[in-house]
Amino acid sequence: MKARVIPAVIIILVLILTACHFAEVGKHFDLAVSGAGTGTYPGYPRSIVDSAGDNITIYKPLERIIVTNSNCAEAIRVVGAQNRVIGATDSLKWYPTFFPEMSKLPVVGKWSAVDPELVLQLDADCVFAYTADPSPAYLEDKLPSTIKVIRFDFFKPETLREEMIKLGYILDEGANTSKYIAWYDKYVDEINAKIATKTEAEKPIVFLNNDFDDSRTERRTYATESGGISILCEEAGGINIAADSIGAYPILSMEYIYEEDPDIVVGLSYRGGYERDKDTGMANEYEYILNLPGFDKIKAVEDNCVYIISSVIAYSPSSPCGLARMAKWFYPDDFKDLHPEVMLQEYVDNFCGGLVYNVSKQGVFYYPD
């Protein structure tokens, strides 16, 4: 009898602690559980404000989910709800290694142009999409109000933590979400604490190279307005030479870059990731930067401080790994005991739905290694 009572007590305590955790989360982010403990669906309705600024209220568990992009799919898997995803856009088919199950799901169109008829055929409860894409013309305007459209990005470092908490809350995945947030905070707080001790004079000057521009007379880069890697650079203790430029992706003249003489150059690449085991693409980007006219005279090249980072660890729920990688590049002595590859393996093992993947033998996440 006692053997049965003790486990039951433990289960009750876990449930209470999880409920308390999300009650505190709710207070912080203005989330609301207005029907907790009553009705057909205890704990509902639940309300949030998504990243598009829309008020979302759900009245029962979301069991049939459609995702329009890989970031949403990854985040939903992190909180432990991947078995509820019943459909996706064709973009997930690009990642059969990283999404072995979800890449085989029925396709409902493209990430930027979902087919509402296919969503209806799958009898979905909700669709998770980026904040801006697909536009409401493809979703909200053509779907019945009974199918919730929930918009989060899950790739911007500046909003990721809050989005993950809201996702776990609205999907009622408290335990998994708490585990992820604990992992996230452990590393981000450690990095933040060390960076906070640095003066502006101690911080490296950084040029962020945009992957999409092949010009040799000027370079497209990232301003603070772009978020993403510019925010990672700042959080890792770097000074982005284009931070205050007008527009999200300003173009800098070569003369300006020479004058700023950056200590470090970081290129953001879309040619690495979990699906690739050869670093050829990122190596080519690295060599391209080294051979830009006049770059042999800038400090970053002279000191061998040119690096390429994959978008999959810069823009995703695994972004603490990208932050750690950049912090080590910027301050190798301060972060010699921080190991981004160990962090990434922890992420894969604990938050990727049982994926069997060895990051030391598979994938390309930064260059040089």
In tens, the pLDDT along 272-325 reads 999 998 989 999 999 999 998 888 889 999 999 999 999 999 999 999 999 999
In a domain, 25, yes or no: no
Domain of 65 in residue numbering reads as: 40-172
CA end-to-end distance (rounded Å), the chain: 57
Is the four-CA dihedral 138, 141, 147, 150 of positive or negative sign? positive
Give the number of domains in the chain.
2
Residue-level pLDDT at 212: 64
Quick: pLDDT tens for 15-56. 444 444 444 444 444 555 444 555 578 888 999 999 999 999
CATH number of the structural domain spanning residue 223? 3.40.50.1980
Q: How many angstroms separate the CA atoms of 313 and 359, rounded?
A: 12
For residue 251, the cross-strand partners are 220
Residue 8 maps to a domain = no
Fill in the DSSP letter of residue 31.
-
Examine the domain organization and report whether 350 and 216 are in the same domain.
Answer: yes
Cross-strand pairs, 66: 87, 127
pLDDT at 24: 47
Angle at alpha carbon of residue 330, lines to 156 and 340, rounded to 5° = 60
- 107: which DSSP letter? B
Q: Quote the DSSP letter at residue 204.
A: P
- For residue 58, pLDDT over 90 is answered with yes
Last residue of a domain, one of 172, 190, 225: 172
Neighbours of 37 (CB within 10 A): 8
Pairwise CA distance, residues 130 & 111, whole Å: 9
What pLDDT shows up at residue 293? 87
Out of 172, 190, 210, pick the residue that ends a domain. 172
Res 200: pLDDT = 95
How large a percentage of the chain has pLDDT more than 70? 88
Q: What is the pLDDT averaged over residues 228-248? A: 92
Same domain, 204 and 277: yes
Of 130, 131, 133, 77, the closest CA to residue 105 belongs to: 77
